[in-house]
Structure 1
């Protein structure tokens, strides 16, 4: 990933229970959307692309 995504996702996932998984999906979403919401959770309206990405089950993909 890019250093932008790495640093943003590091903050985003700093309190995640599953660090590896959080960083993986955050990284995928960041590469696609070039945006990661601020804070460790919520604030997804800052990044509509990130907010609206869904996984194959139709659940939100991005942490």
Structure 2
């Protein structure tokens, strides 16, 4: 019985790790709308322009349901986030 319990625990931990990695990588649609605030706060934590960054990041996250991992770059993880452009053709999402 103890062997079964260890197997169940190991399976649960591996499953939890896989789910966590999926959210951390920022894959398309990996977030729920209520998670955008925290993801954008982290995404914008290294910029000196926090308010506009958070505002645009939240707008992009609510549309795409993803935020790229890290504080800069990695936009290839979220094509919707990466491909949304301003009228001038620049990136809309930070």
TM above 0.5, one fold? yes
Name stretches of at least 5 consecutive residues in structure 1 with no aligned partner: none
* Equivalent residue pairs, number: 62
What residue in structure 2 maps to residue 42 of structure 1?
Answer: 73
2:25 aligns with none
Unmatched segments (≥5 aa) in structure 2: 1-32
Q: Which has the larger radius of gyration?
A: 2
User: Superposition RMSD on alpha carbons, in Å?
Assistant: 0.8
Alpha-carbon offset, residue 17 of structure 1: 1.4
Question: Counterpart of 1:60?
Answer: 91
CA distance in structure 2 between the partners assigned to 1:29 and 1:20 by the alignment: 14
Q: Give, in whole Å, the separation in 2 of the partners of 1:16 and 1:57.
A: 22
* 1:13 matched to 2:13: no
Aligned to 1:22: 53
Give 1 or 2: higher helix fraction.
Answer: 2
TM-score calculated relative to the size of structure 2? 0.64
Per-residue deviation at 1:61? 0.4
After the TM superposition, which segments of 4 or more aligned residues of structure 1 sit over 4 Å from their partners? none
Separation in 1, partners of 2:48, 2:93: 15
Q: Distance in 1 between matches of 2:89 and 2:75?
A: 17
